[in-house]
Amino acid sequence: MCGIVGYLGTRQAAPILLDGLSKLEYRGYDSAGVCVMSNGELKVAKSKGRLATLSGLIDGGRAIQGTFGIGHTRWATHGAPSDINSHPHIADAGKIAVVHNGIIENYLRLKEDLVRKGKHFQSETDTEVVANLIEYYYDRLQDFPRAVRRAVGQLEGSYALGILCQDFPGTMIAVKKESPLIFGFGEGENFIASDVPAILKYTRKVVYLNDGDTVIFTKDTARFYDAFYDPVEKTPETIDWDISAAEKCGYDHFMIKEIHEQPKAVKGTLSPRIRDGRVVLDDVTLSKEYLEELKRIYIVACGSSYYVGCLGKHILEKTCRIPVEPILASEFRYSEPVLGSDTLVLIISQSGETADTKAALMEAKRQGARTLAIVNVVGSAIAKEADDVIYTWAGPEIAVATTKAFSTQLSVIYLIALYIADLLETIRPEEYDTIVNELLKLDQKIALCLTNDNVQKIRYYAEQYFKVHDAFFIGRNVDSAICLEGSLKLKEIAYIHSEAYAAGELKHGPISLIEEGTLVVAVATVDSLFDKTMSNVKEVRARGADVFGVTTEKHEAEIKKTVPSVITVPATHPMLQPSLTIIPLQTFAYYIALLRDCDVDKPRNLAKSVTVE
């Protein structure tokens, strides 16, 4: 996903832009650039490759003097990664500079029109069309804000735009539709950015722009307009993250930092929502009458968030006795789902900007279903569009591979399950109390999974298995669902082909793939299914598989009769066990990725938030 930073003030802009872009690298990109107004001219420096390449081109920003400018990291959608396709894009006559995150769906038609009107293009991008379209109107109107408004009125698709005009030094315009963009208030300086970490060093007062918003600002002023171009007052929010939360805090990578942040993150999600032993769900009001009419719950998401939904099926059906269907967002919107007022659609998204998930949410709303979003990024598009939102409060998750956001999403599922089961009286009061008490201890039990002894043991096993080419994750019931996430972690950061299977399913075909040295990760924490899972373990062991087992302490002696490599996790209520099981699976994948010299925080081909379909 692209990253945008804009600065208007009295300090040199280029170093601030480079610093801000470096805090957005986690979003995934393939090129970077800056444009600074320097001595009345729009000066651009941009290049394919990492931010360090760009910084080298402009001597860390010192080579371009000027106190306002825009910067960008690009994740290619239209046009391959290249210097010329990098942003910022300058319009034909050099009057307008633009950075953009999103997709202009009607760019080809607009480009044809502009070519006919005499505009020339250098790149293959949709963004250059925006720059030339604004310049086209500016040529006629000689009015920067009006030119932007006319051009934006013709755009179809998604866009977060930062725009400069050579004839209007000291003014910047930003426009937001579907792609995230925030405005930061400074003292004698102002900022725009795709995400908070880019400007947290300079200001904590931010506004999350809404779809259709425009802001016209100088270093001292900011005028906001809504989608109807009516002036609108914005109340800044104060970001309470400390800067370290967006840095590595001494860890080698953001991912291992965020793995170790899970006790704190889960506690931060749960404890404000458990008061005097009762679950409270912020200002979400799912009334008893509404819930009694509920016929089905869909859980719609992508990737790891979808796997939270797969766990949610087990958890919600067992406690609330309502049919639950997890469905991939990219499938949901094209599968003609059966929706209505008796359907609750749970939308799960860490970023709150995933295009497939956002589109599914809009489809659910169009069909009259109630929507409840579980989101980490405050003010994100999904958070704003859903009827209700429960924030996971995991803090910024920088590593592309999710860990603490996954765990806090799962924690919110537990809260929703208890809340609904309590209202529908489908859970015995003593069971409710037991689970609540276990929830209040969950952070400590997660911390026990991350003791130095356990981490060293996992590192040791990682050293045994990091050269494997294929891996299978097997389990039953919730263990089968958590295998999906464990398997994805190994795929996305260690680039090992891995598959998750219900343990009972292997004999129906996949077991033909098991041979000498195949790695099988066996997850066996469900007491009532332990023996059956162990039978499956023996089947694969008999065919030469290496097995790495994860179970609870009570089964350690038994599993070790068959499996040499075992990690145990503390036992908790069966409904909550996946929150502990996932910890060694995350850690195992992390250390294997390190041993394979993979780029753990920024895995190849991946982006932190997939804002294109």
Between 18 and 103, CB nearer to ligand AGP? 103
User: Between the CA of residue 228 and those of 173, 196, 211, 247, what are the distances in Å?
Assistant: 16, 26, 11, 39
Shortest reach from residue 105's CB to ligand AGP, in Å: 21
CB 448, min distance to ligand AGP, A: 24
Using CB under 6 A, list all residues that contact ligand AGP: 302-305, 349-351, 354, 357, 400-402, 492, 606, 609-610
| DSSP run (H or E) holding 143 | none
The CA-based angle 195-5-246, given to 5 degrees, is 40
Scan for tokens 């690298």, then name that residue: 25
Q: Which is nearer to ligand AGP, 303 or 312 (CB)?
A: 303
Query: Any residues with CB less than 8 A from the CB of 28 and at least 6 apart, and which?
Result: 1, 75, 400, 602, 606, 607, 608
Q: Which residue in 2, 320, 449, 598 is the catalytic one? A: 2
The distance in angstroms from the start CA to the end CA of the chain is 12
- Is 310 annotated as catalytic? no
Q: Rounded to a whole number, what is the largest CA-CA distance in the chain?
A: 81
Q: Kindly state the smallest distance separating residue 499's Cβ from ligand AGP, in Å.
A: 16
The sign of the dihedral angle between the CA atoms of 591, 597, 600, 604 is negative
Per the CB < 8 A criterion, the answer to whether 350 and 373 are in contact is no
| Residue with smaller CB distance to ligand AGP, 132 or 403 | 403
Q: Which CB sits closer to ligand AGP, 334 or 460?
A: 334
- The least distance separating ligand AGP from the CB of residue 327, rounded to whole angstroms, comes to 14
**Residue with token string 């010299």:** 597
> What is the chain's alpha carbon radius of gyration, rounded to the nearest angstrom?
26
Q: CA of 210: how far to CAs of 178, 225, 347, 566, in Å?
A: 8, 10, 19, 49
Q: Is the dihedral of CA 227, 233, 238, 243 positive or negative?
A: positive
CB of 354 to ligand AGP, least distance (A): 3
Task: Give the residue closest to ligand AGP by C-beta.
Answer: 303
Shorter beta-carbon distance to ligand AGP: residue 91 or 345:
345
Tokens of 553: 């302490």
CA torsion, ordered 382, 388, 391, 396, to nearest 10 deg: 10
- In the complex, the smallest distance separating the C-beta of residue 392 from ligand AGP, rounded to whole angstroms, is 10
Calpha distance 74→72 (Å, rounded): 6
Instruction: Tell me the closest approach of the beta carbon of residue 470 to ligand AGP, in angstroms.
Output: 20
* Residues shown for the chain: 613
Q: How many CB atoms lie under 10 A from the CB of residue 464?
A: 14
Between 329 and 522, name the residue whose CB sits nearer to ligand AGP: 329
Shortest Cβ 403–ligand AGP spacing (Å)? 8
Alpha helices (runs of H) in 466-554, residue ranges in sequence order: 478-494, 530-541
Across 476-574, the runs of DSSP E, i.e. the strands, are 497-502, 519-524, 546-552, 565-569
Taking the least distance from each CB to ligand AGP, the nearer of 351 and 498 is 351
Q: Which CB, 224 or 473, lies closer to ligand AGP?
A: 473
Query: Active-site residue 2, yes or no?
Result: yes
| Residues catalogued as catalytic | 2, 608
